[in-house]
Amino acid sequence: MRSEEAIRAAVQRVGRIVRVRRAALYGLRGLAWGLTTGLIPLLGKAGLGPAALPAALALAAVGGMAGIVYGLLLPVPLREPARLVDRTFRLDDRLATAVEHLGQVPRGPLVEALIEDAADRVRDRDLGATVPWRWPREVRILPASALALWVLVLLPPVRFPEGVFPSLTPSGEQEAERQAQSVPVAQDRRLARARETAPRVEVQERDYLRRRGTGRETQQGDLSAIFRDTNIAQRRPDFSSFLKHGDDRLKILGQVESLPDLQRDFTQSQFRVAFRRAKRLLAGIRPDQVSPEKLRELLDEMRRLGRRGGGEEWGQDVWEGSEALADGRMQRALEAMERALSRMRAMEERSGKGLEGGRDRGRGQGRNPGMRGGEGEDFGEYEGSLPGKGTNPDWRGAPSTRLAQDPLDSAVEGQPRRGRRDAFDTNLLGKGSRNPSHLPYMSVYAQYRKMMEEALTKETIPLDYRTQVKEYFRALEER
């Protein structure tokens, strides 16, 4: 019991010290703000007269007192002083734990021992050192506020400016005079604007004339491009004709089907791709100054386009160009390239749209719905499930005809498959296009087999599927 009382007494004593220190802390805070607020009546000393100083002092006193009262009234739970004592004397939370378990009934032997131990450790301690003094942040402004107060007391009353502010609005005469001066200026401006208008028409006409018939690329927002391929593209705007007959452009806009497809991607036309590259290559230089490397790249690009479709028409010219280039006959190579370009253009004009190729090749035409398995078939989006997927019972798929043709083909070249895919089409140009990706066939098999084994051992796979996966790899092994 004596231990319990000793603990309570120690904690209460520390609690009292905490209150006093808190009161001092908040009192200083209140005093600082009270002094600062007290400067206001001193600034208005001229109006308040002799009551300004007592008012300032009263504000400071009220602030300080309010702080003290607030600090004294703040609650101090018993465990807070106990934790302070623990922290100060490094008691490893003994006192705080003991205080919390003082009211426990029944107490276990360990709690009894703890209370005894904690009481022994707080006896004869200087508990005053437990709660340190703390200075509030406002202490920094306290001297400045006091000094300002003292200075304002000594200085004579501050006189604020009196009377009305000067008028900034102009008088009626000044306004009339200014208006009179501004009339000729406005007239000049109107004349100047009229003079500016005339040449603008010429500039617009010049721009329009330069545009017509160039077949240049469509610019975004250029509405005149709608009429680019029509007979009215050559006409100049004629206002009197418009009044008599109406504008042919408006009539054409009504015939939606006859308008060219502006949404079509320019790069869909492979002739234009090749033409643009050739133009860039030959722009501004003589044929003997053309870089053979660049010309070879262009011919390779054209050959690559030929592989995607239509190559039988211009392939011979491209081949001749390459041969001539290899022999160092630049002029012959350029002629062959131009012939190939002409054939490409002719083919495009025959087809009425861009050359076919890429993922659009043959889409919607010439399909053989019965064809399944093997190389070159189209596993389109709506052409049934792939072998080994979904409900397709043919889980093995057909053997690769390419491998059957060349049993020594150990490196498989990557080939894009038509239909839906997760990759992006890239229009690869340059040297990289001559090196398609290869992967040793047996290496592919080994990689996939290893992945299969790992998946079978480490992942949750239904038993039915396990057999199917194993059978699939066994079938591959047989081939």
Partner 1 sequence: MGEERVERFGRAFEALRGEIQKVIVGHDDIVEQVLVCLFVGGHVLLEGVPGLGKTLLVKTLSGCLDLSFSRIQFTPDLMPADIIGTNIIVEDAEGRRHFQFQRGPIFAHIVLADEVNRATPKTQSALLEAMQEGNVTVSGTAYRVPVPFFVLATQNPIEMEGTYPLPEAQLDRFLFKLRVRYPALEELNEIIERTTRAEEPTVGHALPGDQVSGFKELVREVPIASHVRELASTIVTATHPQWPQAPEVTRRYIRYGASPRAAQALVLGGKVLALRAGRFNVSAEDLKAITLPALRHRIILNFEGEAEGIDVDQLILQVVEAAEVEARRGKEVFFR
Q: Which stretch binds partner 1 (CB under 8 A): 93-101, 387-395, 414-422, 463-471?
A: 93-101
User: Which region holds residue 459: left if phi is over 0, alpha if psi is between -120 and 50, else beta?
Assistant: beta
Cis peptide upstream of residue 106 (ω within 30 degrees of 0)? yes
Which CB, 112 or 360, lies closer to partner 1?
112
Question: Closest separation between CB of residue 376 and partner 1, Å?
Answer: 41
* Residue 77 beta carbon to partner 1: minimum distance, rounded to whole angstroms: 9
- Cβ proximity of 397 and 387 under 8 Å: yes
Pick the closer one to partner 1 by CB: 79 or 329. 79
Closer of 21 and 235 to partner 1 (Cβ): 21
21 binds partner 1 (CB under 8 A): yes
Near partner 1 by CB under 8 A: residue from 25, 60, 337, 340: 25
> Tokens 């042919």 belong to which residue?
248
- Of the candidates 117, 248, 338, 360, which one interacts with partner 1 according to CB under 8 A? 117
Q: How many residues lie near partner 1 (CB under 8 A)?
A: 29
Q: Of residues 38, 67, 81, 354, which one binds partner 1 by CB under 8 A?
A: 81
Is 33 or 227 the residue whose CB approaches partner 1 more closely? Answer: 33
Q: What is the DSSP string of 265-294?
A: -GGG-HHHHHHHHHHHHHTTS-GGGS-HHH
First to last CA, the chain: 93
To partner 1, the closest distance from the beta carbon of 414 in angstroms equals 29
Give the number of other CB atoms < 10 A from CB of residue 449: 13
Q: What angle do CA 126, 132, 135 make, to 5 degrees?
A: 155
Q: Quick one: which of 53, 57, 80, 361 contacts partner 1 (CB under 8 A)?
A: 80
Residues between 118 and 157 with contacts to partner 1, criterion CB under 8 A: 131, 134
Pairwise CA distance, residues 151 & 49, whole Å: 16
Q: Cα(473)–Cα(469) distance, rounded to whole angstroms?
A: 7
Asked if 7 interacts with partner 1 (CB under 8 A), we say: no
Residue 411's H or E segment, with its range, is strand 411-413
* Residue 413 DSSP one-character state: E
Minimum distance from residue 105 beta carbon to partner 1 (Å): 14
Tell me the two tokens of residue 458: 């480490």
Query: Is residue 205 left, alpha or beta, with left meaning phi > 0 and alpha meaning psi from -120 to 50?
Result: alpha
Kindly state whether residue 92 participates in binding partner 1, applying the rule CB under 8 A: yes
Choice between 97 and 316, CB closer to partner 1: 97
* Closer residue to partner 1 (CB): 90 or 190: 90
Closest to 114 measured CA to CA, from 95, 128, 129: 95
**Sign (positive/negative) of CA torsion 42, 48, 53, 59?**
negative
CB 64, min distance to partner 1, A: 18
Query: Cβ closer to partner 1: 58 or 111?
Result: 111
Euclidean distance between CA atoms 381 and 206, whole angstroms: 52
C-alpha span between 203 and 140 (Å, rounded): 73
Stretch binding partner 1 (CB under 8 A), from 20-28, 148-156, 162-170, 411-419:
20-28
The one segment of 94-102, 156-164, 298-306, 347-355 that binds partner 1 by CB under 8 A: 94-102
Cα–Cα distance measured from residue 305 to residue 311, given in angstroms and rounded to the nearest whole number: 7
Q: Alpha carbon 241 to chain centroid distance?
A: 53
Residues 186-245 that bind partner 1 (CB under 8 A): none
Please state, in angstroms and rounded to a whole number, the distance separating the CA atoms of residues 309 and 270.
Answer: 10
Minimum distance from CB of 92 to partner 1 (Å)? Answer: 4
Q: Which residues inside 95-114 make contact with partner 1, applying CB under 8 A?
A: 96-98, 100-101, 108-114
**Amino acid letter, 66:** A
DSSP run (H or E) holding 440: strand 438-440
Among positions 251-280, residues that touch partner 1 (CB under 8 A) are none
Q: Taking the complex as a whole, how short is the minimal distance between the CB of residue 12 and partner 1, in angstroms?
A: 14
**Smallest gap, in angstroms, from Cβ of residue 100 to partner 1?**
5
Q: Quick check: 308 and 357 in contact, CB under 8 A? A: yes
Give kind and range of the element (H or E) at residue 438: strand 438-440
As a whole number of angstroms, the distance between CA 423 and CA 29 comes to: 69
**At its nearest, how many Å lie between partner 1 and the CB of residue 118?**
8
Judged by CB under 8 A, which of 7, 10, 11, 18 binds partner 1?
18
Site string for partner 1, 48-77 (x = CB under 8 A): --------------------------x-x-
| Residue closer to partner 1 (CB basis): 132 or 221 | 132
Q: Which residues bind partner 1 (CB under 8 A)?
A: 18, 21-22, 25, 74, 76, 79-81, 83-84, 92-94, 96-98, 100-101, 108-114, 117, 131, 134
